[in-house]
Structure 1
Amino acid sequence: MDEWLKHSTEVEASWVTADLTIFTVREGQLMVLLVERGVEPFLGRPALPGGYIQKDETLREGALRELWEEAGIDGRRLHLEQLGAYGEPRRDPRGRVVTIAYLALGPDLPAPVGGTDAERAYWAPVAQLQSDAQALAFDHAEILSDALEEVRTKLEYTAVATAFCGDSFTLSELRKVYEVIWGQVLDPSNFRRKVLNTPGFVQPTGEQRLPPTGRPAALYRRGTAWLLSPPLLRGGQQS
């Protein structure tokens, strides 16, 4: 076979997809968006939402389209960033498929609606999926694990925790984000001191929220800083 033709055939036999790990905090738990596959391969198995990138799309455009088609969620409203590329030759039984994984975060996102090749879409507790490497189709358990560690690390060095909160939030609500994602209980007084002593992390709105019981709580919004200095480390120490 002509070498150029052989090379062209090999290129045509490869595809690019986008897969999305979408995290939110619901009911006091870290949740990830899953779809139940309505087609082969892995018919009926849970998977991260995603699909093939069309030839006239950018990677980001394809990821946003797949999120809307498979779950009815507008990804433009989320914190969305590229996580990495996954290209193990046998990751997809249909052929050589390289996927670009995206990480998306949002505050208490709504119940999703399945569509296209997804039988249904739903929120699943991350804690229940971590113990079973075979729980998800394809290599999505690996992508989920990488995405979780990425978020845990970003909480230390960036203001990404505010992406899980609404436009305004209390420090208790912000602390709950850290506790849920890190899986550890934080001392309220120490957390408050660290957050307020980190320049640009949060800004007071001047308003308060009245809880069902107890004293009113001050409301904050995300500040101007993205990188936190000093960081809030999981070990409880600032550097």
Structure 2
Amino acid sequence: MSNERLMPAEFSKRHNMKVATDVLIYTVRERNQDNPRKVPEKQLQLLMIQRRGNPFKGAWAIPGGVVENTESVDAAAYRELKEETNIDDVYIEQLYSWGDEKRDPRAEESPDNRAVSVSYMALVDSEKLDIKAGDDAADARWFSVEYTSMAYTLEDGKGNILGKEYDYSLTLTNEDGVEPITCPALVKVKHIIEGAAIRTEREVVNSDGIAFDHAMIIQYSLERLRNKVEYTNIAFNLMPELFTLGELQSVYEILLGKELLTPNFRKKMLSVNKLVIPTNHKKTEVGHRPSQLYRFNPEWFIKNV
């Protein structure tokens, strides 16, 4: 096997396929902040673009594009992030590569249309954002994300356990316009036991309004995000530099999908994990006592990473 390093375009030419990046850009925003008739509600939101052309014309997709010959895959992801949000100093990580031969219907017409996509996840503070639709998109909007799952045990009918199956229900909703836009999807994930190894299969069972296999990519990113909240400082990438503990707890609850006991959360942040440190600033809100403002503790990173 050759050890030569191929640039994306050279790889594409040799293997009759394109290499692309898809960047999932998450933030925490007030769901109805653009609708004065409704009470704002903080939710995890995902940036989606509306496709201008076929296939999936009019459907909503994760921002992304083909990797250019003069850049690495990582550089392409950073470029897409900059083009869509006008910022580049935020948290971004590579998630997974998606290469099913049927993921792009254009591949049935010609193998030159086959595309392998490397997905990335970016977490941004909503106050820094300046969103715009790219030239290949008709529109760009924030969609709130609702995400639930049901688990089943896989058996062979003889009492032998073969693995585990999850049905993930995903709903993306945008309420910024006159009429709300709702995009539901069902993603099935099977974890199959093969000796001491676990093989995972993913499938989009149905998807309404979400292009390509992007419902599956979104589901995977949410699974990764929820798992990492428990043992990393990833949630702080969705926070401003200074914040109250109440604001931080709200973000943790949104990411974990459950309510947390306030005394336990404060103890974990301040004394057990020591993830935050107090500042000399306080937040003054009308009708409320001034609240202590905190910031992320960089010493936690030095000790734990």
**Shorter-chain TM band:** 0.7 to 0.9
Q: 2:50–2:139: 8 Å Cα contact kept in structure 1?
A: yes
What is the root-mean-square deviation of aligned Cα atoms in Å?
2.1
Q: TM-score, normalising length from structure 1?
A: 0.85
Distance 1:116 1:60 in 2: 21
**Larger deviation, residues 108-117 vs 141-150:** 108-117
| Larger RCO (CA within 8 A; separation ≥ 6) | 1
Offset, 1:75: 4.5
Matched, 1:101 2:101: no
**Larger deviation, residues 25-34 vs 12-21:** 12-21
Matched, 1:65 2:83: no
Offset, 1:100: 0.5
Distance 1:191 1:227 in 2: 22
Distance 1:75 1:12 in 2: 34
Distance 2:95 2:240 in 1: 23
Distance 1:74 1:60 in 2: 17
Identity, % of aligned positions? 37
Match of 2:276 among 202, 216, 220: 202
1:167 match: secondary structure: coil
2:230 match: secondary structure: helix
Gaps of 5+ in 2: 1-10, 31-41, 108-113, 147-170, 173-182, 187-206
Q: Cα distance 1:168–1:45, how it changes in 2: closer, same or farther (>3 A)?
A: same
Distance 2:228 2:303 in 1: 10
Distance 2:292 2:12 in 1: 62
Matched, 1:221 2:233: no
Offset, 1:44: 0.8
Distance 2:293 2:118 in 1: 37
2:269 match: secondary structure: helix
Q: How does 1:109-148 map to 2 (within 5 A)?
A: 109=127, 110=129, 112-127=131-146, 128-129=171-172, 131-133=184-186, 134-135=207-208, 136-148=210-222
One-letter code aligned to 1:113: K
Q: How does 1:167-186 map to 2 (within 5 A)?
A: 167-186=241-260
Distance 1:218 1:68 in 2: 33
1:197 match: secondary structure: helix
- CA deviation profile, 1:143-163 (whole Å, cap 9, x unmatched): 100101111111100011111
Match of 1:48 among 59, 62, 65: 62
Instruction: Give the strand-richer structure, 1 or 2.
Output: 2
Instruction: Give the helix-richer structure, 1 or 2.
Output: 1
Gaps of 5+ in 1: 1-7, 230-239
- CA deviation profile, 1:5-24 (whole Å, cap 9, x unmatched): xxx99725111000011111
Q: 1:30–1:181: 8 Å Cα contact kept in structure 2?
A: yes
Q: 1:111–1:123: 8 Å Cα contact kept in structure 2?
A: no
Offset, 1:219: 0.9
Distance 1:84 1:9 in 2: 18
Displacement over 3 Å in runs of 4+: 226-229
Q: Cα distance 1:9–1:226, how it changes in 2: closer, same or farther (>3 A)?
A: closer
Distance 2:259 2:303 in 1: 21
